[in-house]
Chain A
Amino acid sequence: MTLTNEVPPPAVAQAAPHRQPVPVWLYIIGAVGIIVAIAAVVTPGFLTPDNVRAILHTTAITGIVAVTMTPMTLSGNLGSLSTQQSSVLGAVLFATLVSRDWNVVTAALAVLVVVVAVSVAQGLVVAAGLNPIITTLAAGSVIAGSVAAASRTTSISFDGASTGWLAGSLLGVPASVFYFLAVTVVVTWLMRKTVLGRRVMLSGSNRETARLTGVPQGATVIWVFVILGVGCTLAGLIGSSQVGYANTLLFGSMTFDVIAAVVIGGTSIRGGYGSPLWSAGGALLMSVINNLLLLHGFPYGVRILIVGLLVVGSISALQLLPGRRAL
């Protein structure tokens, strides 16, 4: 009797290629997209170059901030309620420096340092474990109060001659659109292809697992706030350059527009699921809807009502996704 110690070859589990389930939001966004397409065809003046340029122009600043806030949302830290105030800080500081004859590039770099530092300060508090909404809400009023006190709530004008690279246009397309595209590409790449991106996604989808597998929680949160700070800086620079002045009233509805864009784009506000690219799409979709309603003469109230309902719809739909409920 011969004993064979031949072991049957192990059944190699065919590793299923990593695929995300077909997301419900895709159907919703698809349906909305079709509605928008039909509306676009029947709305005179929608597909004119001027109108398309106007849509892109209004999308750019909200879009930049929405895209750069998405990593924060993906990391499970909900969102920031101080994006408007941070962008105003950037705008007012930039206007002040440029009006005092600073070199534009030096001024822009100084603004970047300050706004990112303010963002990181909030990141440190959030990284310690505090609620991000409350932290950014309180920080927002501190930033707004400080900026208003420092600028005495006046408008600071500056000579726009040297800020063409921020507010000009290339081939008929506003510069802000190129910044929006660049930011979207860079942040999407950061989230998809870098270690930081993977850490952000893991922290957002399962904080405890992330901690146990050695993801540096604090550093991840702080990097996320650095990205947001860069976005608010860009918004401040571009926004103030476009109008040639800065005051505390700029970017009036930014804070909630940005959150709306991220959510409408389909990123789960509880983290771990979504993409900066989707937020760019969300911002664009919001602009298109706003523009359509505007062309049809709908007043401001109807427009925010519809945006609000879309946000509620997106949040609810994402919540009902299979497997997302247990988070």
Chain B
Amino acid sequence: MRALDLLRPYALQIGVLIVLWMAFTATTPMFGGRGTLYAVLQSFALLGLVSAGLAVTFICGEFDLSVASMAVLAAVVAVNTAGLGLIPALLLGTLVGAALGALQGGMIARLVINSLVFTIGSQIAIRGLAYVLSGNGPSSLNDLAVSDPLLLTWGPLSIDTIVAFVVFGLVGIFLAFSRTGRELYAVGGGRKEAIAAGVSIRRVTITAFTICGACAALAGAMAATKSGGISPDSYANLILTAPAAILVGGFRLEGGRGNIINVILGVAILSVLTVGLGGRGVPAYVVDLFVGSLLLVVVVGEFAIARWGSRIRPHRSFATQES
């Protein structure tokens, strides 16, 4: 019974995941088995890592809209420095993301500005930087052998998915057990109370955006080196799918809620949906239609439940941000 109690907070997401999986198994002959599992796990490397980073900003009540641009920028950096070797290139890309993330977090805390508003602007600039660094066109690896290690697989796992799950583990431990991790929840749950309790908003915000930038950057860098090249207009879709994944997984815009299990479940749901629909030959824009609808249903549903449950005027965290 104890195991069941542990699963209870995730019952809705697990239920949706099981229903989706069974529905696709019943209706789509190609669906199921190791191939499908491999395809589903593959999306953890890009969408999963980006979502994990974004989730950290969600917990403290912020929203980083620049993740897609960050992933592209790091991808361009990694592809263009691949001559140094795979690991230095990936690290360099990740470092660029972490540094820019820290800069963004610092400015957001310094200006006491709504992060959604700030990152709407900064994501334009970051994508511009990606275009500049890539010479305004696609860039590809000079030596494709560099990316060979990323193509190794063990059953349904490959190196990039393993890296992703290691990062999930680290982020999960950070959120659950570190002091800063707990402070993230405190800030998201009650900003004023957190300040009163002596939490440094500045440090928490910078930490959150650094982690977010680094995760998005690592994801982009790995995906691009694996596929052998990057076009600076890539990954635009992440601006929809990453928030969708974590909101479906059980995070809330108001912050203060959600952990790494929620991220994994949300990404798994989106991934099963994408792989399942793709297996039925559904074009990408229809998949986006489903993702968008799912996002609307989840957000409206959450909102309705919260309103009906508490019967008090909801606090709109992004329209008005007191500080």
* Chains A and B come from one and the same complex: yes
Decide if A301 touches B129 in the complex (CB within 8 Å).
Answer: yes
Decide if A302 touches B128 in the complex (CB within 8 Å).
Answer: yes
- Residues of A contacting B283 with CB < 8 Å? 148-149, 153
Decide if B319 touches A135 in the complex (CB within 8 Å).
Answer: no
B8 within 8 A of A: no
- Residues of B contacting A100 with CB < 8 Å? none
Of A125, A305, A315, the residue contacting B128 (CB under 8 A) is A305
Decide if B126 touches A138 in the complex (CB within 8 Å).
Answer: no
Decide if B107 touches A305 in the complex (CB within 8 Å).
Answer: no
Decide if A138 touches B319 in the complex (CB within 8 Å).
Answer: no
- Residues of A contacting B113 with CB < 8 Å? 315-316, 319
- Considering the complex, give the chain B residue whose CB is closest to the CB of A75: B319
Decide if B319 touches A301 in the complex (CB within 8 Å).
Answer: no
- Residues of A contacting B289 with CB < 8 Å? 141-142, 144-146, 149
Decide if A137 touches B291 in the complex (CB within 8 Å).
Answer: no
Interchain nearest-CB distance for A71 vs B (Å): 15
- Residues of A contacting B121 with CB < 8 Å? 260, 263, 308, 311-312, 314-315
Question: Which residues of A in the span 287-308 have a Cβ within 8 Å of any Cβ on B?
Answer: 299-308
Decide if A315 touches B117 in the complex (CB within 8 Å).
Answer: yes
Decide if A78 touches B118 in the complex (CB within 8 Å).
Answer: no
Q: Which of these binds chain B: A52-60, A61-69, A105-113, A126-134?
A: A126-134
- Considering the complex, give the chain A residue whose CB is closest to the CB of B132: A301
| Given contact pairs A140-B292, A141-B288, A270-B117, A129 touches B303 in the complex (Cβ within 8 A) | yes
- Residues of B contacting A231 with CB < 8 Å? none
B139 within 8 A of A: no
- Considering the complex, give the chain A residue whose CB is closest to the CB of B133: A301
Interchain nearest-CB distance for B157 vs A (Å): 30
Listed residue (B124, B285, B293) with the most chain A CB atoms within 10 angstroms of its CB? B124
Chain A interface, >50% SS class: helix
Interchain nearest-CB distance for B59 vs A (Å): 16
- Residues of B contacting A138 with CB < 8 Å? 240, 244, 292-293, 295-296, 299
A3 within 8 A of B: no
Of A149, A207, A314, the residue contacting B319 (CB under 8 A) is A207
Of B122, B129, B247, the residue contacting A312 (CB under 8 A) is B122
Measured CA separation A132–B285 after assembly (Å): 22
Decide if B319 touches A256 in the complex (CB within 8 Å).
Answer: no
Q: List 19 extra interface pairs beyond A133-B65, A308-B128, CB under 8 A.
A: A125-B300, A129-B316, A132-B319, A141-B295, A142-B289, A145-B286, A145-B289, A248-B285, A256-B123, A269-B120, A299-B132, A300-B131, A301-B128, A301-B136, A302-B128, A303-B128, A304-B131, A305-B132, A311-B125
| Given contact pairs A140-B292, A145-B292, A312-B125, A135 touches B299 in the complex (Cβ within 8 A) | yes
Measured CA separation A144–B217 after assembly (Å): 28
Measured CA separation A35–B48 after assembly (Å): 44
Decide if A308 touches B285 in the complex (CB within 8 Å).
Answer: no
- Considering the complex, give the chain A residue whose CB is closest to the CB of B111: A319
Decide if B129 touches A137 in the complex (CB within 8 Å).
Answer: no
Decide if A312 touches B118 in the complex (CB within 8 Å).
Answer: yes
- Residues of A contacting B285 with CB < 8 Å? 144-145, 148-149, 153, 248
Question: Which residues of B in the span 94-152 have a Cβ within 8 Å of any Cβ on A?
Answer: 107, 111-114, 116-118, 120-136
- Residues of A contacting B201 with CB < 8 Å? none
B253 within 8 A of A: yes
A259 within 8 A of B: yes
B320 within 8 A of A: yes
| Given contact pairs A149-B286, A316-B111, A319-B111, A134 touches B303 in the complex (Cβ within 8 A) | no
Decide if B128 touches A307 in the complex (CB within 8 Å).
Answer: yes
- Residues of A contacting B303 with CB < 8 Å? 128-130
- Considering the complex, give the chain A residue whose CB is closest to the CB of B285: A148
Interchain nearest-CB distance for B109 vs A (Å): 12
Decide if B124 touches A308 in the complex (CB within 8 Å).
Answer: yes
Decide if B117 touches A78 in the complex (CB within 8 Å).
Answer: yes
Of A78, A128, A144, A320, the residue contacting B116 (CB under 8 A) is A78
Decide if A259 touches B127 in the complex (CB within 8 Å).
Answer: no
Measured CA separation A79–B116 after assembly (Å): 11
Measured CA separation A312–B172 after assembly (Å): 32
Of A131, A248, A256, A302, the residue contacting B299 (CB under 8 A) is A131
